């Protein structure tokens, strides 16, 4: 399942784009009055899309005004969940994007169409909140990078890498940067849990559409679990280690989920610059009752573990400090998205998010081939 790259992208351009944003007036960011609600269209009205949309819709600054999905039942479920009495409905996302009254879109479609949908939203000059990952292959990630570079500088492009916005993650990052645990010496990350998806039968539905309904079960649609789910961990490593890996080796297998075209457990060993070794482990076969999700960063003076639920700073023997999240960090991600749309504090993280996704692609190639893979060997001059 190897991939080939094209259109090399320079490291300097990547790094300059990764952290840059532009401040513009709210009136320039939106075509409507700055004190009115942000009109939002949801592209992909499934479970995750509806969850994101509920947060945005319940915020006094946002309003879901349009729903789009290939399947009528998904639109009806979203309408009920969001308690929408009046909403525009679409099966064609291009028609939703052509609606001039819509300021922003939430893209929560299956990962294989994220590049297509994000590119179209950028061309339509909408603010975009796109769920992770950026894509499921190199070509898709390159498409996201190109779209981000061509985007209107007045438009927000955010991704559903929620850890970037979570208070406990920001506190952990601050402590690492302030040398609270000393120079970094090692890192680990993991996503250990159960199967999050149940394959369903759709009698009478075209077989290809039935596959799309069960998109999670197929690597060609989901990218496999390392891309669809574990990209969260890799985005955190990209952030905290301030760069991209050099090489990786690893393995994956199927132990219990034998009917799906994806693995259910994997283990990887990465090398980052400065001789930084990073172990990664994930599975979707652990029975209910145990789960472990997050990252660990070990320095010469201590260790910080961080997850969506909490940050713990281990300072010494019998000396630790724990800070717990007060809520799901998806709230912070979407609230900041709305705030950026309204204030003009624009971010465009398309390129950064594509690079984080590409760390997952690198790991996937290693575990599929059971051979060492290097960043340069797989992606050429991209970053």
Q: Tell me the whole-structure pTM to 2 decimals.
A: 0.91
**Among 242, 244, 245, CA closest to 271:** 245
Query: For residue 382, what pLDDT is reported?
Result: 83
In three-state secondary structure terms, 170 is: helix
Helices (H), ranges, 241-349 = 330-343
Query: For residue 13, what pLDDT is reported?
Result: 34
Residues in the chain: 383
CA-to-CA distance for 361 and 377, rounded, in angstroms? 12
pLDDT tens readout for residues 278-336: 999 999 999 999 999 999 999 999 999 999 999 999 999 999 999 999 999 999 999 99
Q: Phi, psi at residue 287, to the nearest 5°?
A: -60, 155
Domains belonging to the chain, first-starting first, are 11-163+331-352 (3.40.50.720), 167-326+362-379 (3.30.360.10)
CA-to-CA distance for 3 and 379, rounded, in angstroms? 9
CA-to-CA distance for 379 and 102, rounded, in angstroms? 37
pLDDT tens readout for residues 61-110: 999 999 999 999 999 999 999 999 999 999 999 999 999 999 999 999 99
Query: For residue 206, what pLDDT is reported?
Result: 96
Strand 184-193, strand 276-284: pairing? parallel
Q: What is the mean pLDDT of the chain?
A: 92
CA-to-CA distance for 56 and 338, rounded, in angstroms? 8
Asked if pLDDT for residue 215 goes beyond 50, the answer is: yes
Query: For residue 220, what pLDDT is reported?
Result: 98
Kindly list the distances between the CA atom of residue 282 and the CA atoms of 91, 139, 145, 250, 257, in Å, as whole numbers in the listed order: 35, 25, 27, 12, 14
Going by C-beta distance under 8 Å and a sequence separation of 6 or more, which residues neighbour residue 379?
A: 5, 138, 358, 362
Query: For residue 76, what pLDDT is reported?
Result: 97
């Amino acid at each position: 399942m190897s991939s080939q790259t094209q259109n090399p992208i320079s490291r300097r351009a990547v790094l300059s784009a990764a952290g840059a944003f532009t401040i513009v007036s709210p009136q320039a960011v939106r075509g409507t009055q700055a004190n009115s609600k942000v009109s939002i269209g949801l592209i992909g009205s499934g479970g995750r899309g509806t969850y994101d949309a509920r947060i945005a819709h319940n915020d006094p600054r946002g309003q879901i005004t349009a729903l789009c999905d290939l399947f009528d039942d998904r639109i009806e479920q979203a309408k009920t969940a969001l308690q929408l009495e009046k909403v525009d409905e679409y099966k064609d996302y291009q028609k939703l994007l052509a609606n001039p009254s819509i300021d922003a879109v939430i893209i929560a479609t299956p990962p294989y169409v994220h590049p297509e949908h994000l590119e179209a939203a950028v061309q339509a000059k909408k603010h975009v909140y796109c769920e992770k990952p950026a894509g499921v292959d190199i070509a898709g990630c390159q498409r996201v990078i190109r779209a981000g570079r061509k985007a209107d500088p007045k438009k927000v492009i955010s991704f559903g890498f929620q850890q970037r916005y979570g208070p406990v993650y920001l506190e952990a990052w601050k402590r690492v940067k302030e040398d609270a645990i000393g120079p970094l010496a090692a890192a680990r990350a993991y996503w250990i849990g159960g199967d999050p998806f149940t394959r369903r039968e759709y009698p009478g539905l075209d077989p290809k559409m039935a596959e799309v309904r069960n998109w999670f079960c197929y690597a060609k649609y989901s990218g496999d679990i390392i891309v669809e789910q574990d990209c969260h961990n890799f985005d955190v490593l990209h952030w905290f280690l301030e760069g991209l890996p050099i090489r990786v080796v690893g393995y994956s297998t199927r132990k219990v989920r034998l009917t799906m075209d994806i693995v259910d457990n994997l283990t990887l060993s990465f090398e980052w610059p400065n001789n930084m070794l990073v172990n990664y482990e994930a599975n979707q076969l652990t029975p209910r009752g145990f789960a472990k999700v997050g990252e660990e960063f070990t320095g010469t003076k201590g260790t910080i573990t961080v997850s969506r639920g909490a940050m713990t700073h281990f300072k010494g023997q019998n000396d630790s400090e724990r800070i717990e999240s007060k809520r799901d960090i998806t709230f912070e991600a979407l609230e900041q998205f709305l705030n950026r749309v309204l204030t003009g504090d624009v971010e465009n993280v398309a390129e950064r998010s594509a690079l984080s996704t590409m760390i997952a692609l690198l790991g996937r190639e290693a575990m599929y081939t059971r051979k060492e893979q290097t960043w340069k060997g797989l992606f050429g001059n991209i970053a």
